[in-house]
Amino acid sequence: MKLQFFKYQGTGNDFVVMDNRQHTFPKNNTTLVAYLCDRRFGIGADGLLLLENDKMSDFRMVYFNADGAEGSMCGNGGRCLVAFANHLGVVGNDAVFNAVDGLHHAHVDGNIVNLKMVDVDEIHEKGNYSFLNTGSPHHVQLVKDLEHFDVYKEGKKLRYGLYGQSGSNINFVEQLNDDTFQVRTYERGVEDETLSCGTGVTAVALAMHSSGKTTANNVNIKTRGGDLTIGFEEQDGTYTNVFLKGPADQVFKGEVECSI
């Protein structure tokens, strides 16, 4: 089986991307997905994205984690798939697409994609951390000296120890100034630190606002893969018009032969 693929990245969060409007990709083959995402034996990526037809919107986004399992919402993946749809001519500068957590609006300006995320009306503050769902579940915890923090060890411990087998993504945060935070994320499904996580940085921005660490409605997030901005409105603890903004770039395209 020969598959055409594209490689996209959004602030270092990278994805194998495929046009599946003709339903040629075997979505039930989790072994194949994991192989394609493998950085030594396959193409290499944090996840795999399929663009499919959708009756309610411009297209449907289907997302798989690097381990082969279908995942929850991926913010950077959504931004990359909008850039891909724009590249194919499926959408112009404005798009509406369907994902596992519902409809999303997005705007493309060059390589910058601004993606509307889900509203959030529950943020659970648990002492030294917060927990919320921004399309995917996220643990948000302030730490000191983030640059030298053992994200893999501590993230894995919390991902399984606190949240069980279903798990949560784990975000470690250091505040840089009133409206800027540095973030490192351990992602479930990847089971390692990623250079960036879109739903994660969104969760950080909302959690930092909810806990009073910032009063800004536009929060700047620095990840190891680049910078993102999260804008939002808040009233009575409910966050609406949440937008995740940053670059999304095509890296290369090619064909891969698979016998899996």
Is 75 annotated as belonging to a binding site? Answer: yes
pLDDT category at 259 given cuts 50, 70, 90 is: confident
Average pLDDT rounded to a whole number, residues 223-241: 98
C-alpha–C-alpha distance, residues 207 and 138, integer Å: 10
State the CB neighbour count (10 A cutoff) for residue 209: 20
In the chain, where are the structural domains located?
2-117+248-257, 123-245
Q: Which of 37, 80, 197, 258 is catalytic?
A: 197
CA–CA dist 252, 255 (Å, integer): 11
260 has a pLDDT exceeding 90: no
Q: Which fold has domain 123-245?
A: Diaminopimelate Epimerase; Chain A, domain 1 (3.10.310)
Q: Percentage of the chain surpassing pLDDT 90?
A: 97
178 exposure class (CB count in 10 Å sphere: 0-12, 13-18, 19+): exposed
Least Cα distance to 179 among 230, 117, 141 occurs for 230
- Tell me whether residue 74 is one of the annotated catalytic residues: yes
CATH superfamily assigned to domain 2-117+248-257: Diaminopimelate Epimerase; Chain A, domain 1 (3.10.310.10)
Say if CB 78 and CB 115 are below 8 A apart: yes
- Does 187 appear as a known binding residue? yes
Is 135 annotated to bind a ligand? Reply is no
Please write the tens of the pLDDT for every residue from 157-207. Answer: 999 999 998 899 999 999 999 999 999 999 999 999 999 999 999 999 999
Confirm or deny that 79 is annotated as ligand binding. no
Separation CA 210–CA 170 (nearest Å): 18
Averaged pLDDT, 2-15:
97
Q: How sure is the predictor about 127, in pLDDT bands with cuts at 50, 70 and 90? A: confident
Whether 197 is catalytic is: yes
- 73: pLDDT confidence band, cut at 50, 70 and 90? very high
The helix-helix angle for 198-210 and 75-88 (nearest 10°) equals: 130
